[in-house]
Amino acid sequence: MVHYQARLDTTFAALSDVTRRGVLEQLGGSDASISDLAQRFHMTLTGMKKHVSILEQAGLVSTEKVGRVRTCKLGQRRLEEEAAWIEQHRQLWSARFDALDELVEHLKRKEKADAQRKRR
């Protein structure tokens, strides 16, 4: 359960960079080498290597080096935990706002009743 939080830390951090999200998108289409990705995102090989390492660390990408080229593809982790976390908290959000909605409704009804009482 300690790992769970650390995992969310690293995954969300990995997703918090526009380049890395772009790489995931790219790899969703087709596998690619470091050079491919570096060129696509206007970056040095070294820079792209770092991004790929971070994604790999988070389990979102897996790589294999054959000959001199390292091929990157989508990894085993499918963001289940992250999706679950977000969904769970969206429900909390909704619960809170539904409560607010109900309060508003309650106040509306009360206001109406008060107005009627006044009229009497």
Under 8 Å between Cβ of 4 and 81: yes
Under 8 Å between Cβ of 16 and 44: no
**Residue 93 Cβ vs DNA, minimum distance, rounded to whole Å:** 22
Determine if 24 is a binding residue for DNA (CB under 7 A).
Answer: no
Which one, of 29, 17, 20, 21, lies nearest residue 73 by Cα?
A: 29
Judged by beta carbon distances under 5 to 8 A according to partner kind, the member of DNA, a second copy, none in contact with residue 90 is a second copy
- In order of 23, 53, 87, the CA distances from 19 in angstroms are 6, 13, 25
Provide φ and ψ at 113, rounded to 5°.
-60, -45
Site for DNA in 42-101 (CB under 7 A): 43-47, 49-51, 54, 65-70
Site for a second copy in 38-77 (CB under 8 A): 73-74
Determine if 11 is a binding residue for DNA (CB under 7 A).
Answer: no
Binding site for DNA (CB under 7 A): 13, 16-17, 19, 33-35, 38, 43-47, 49-51, 54, 65-70
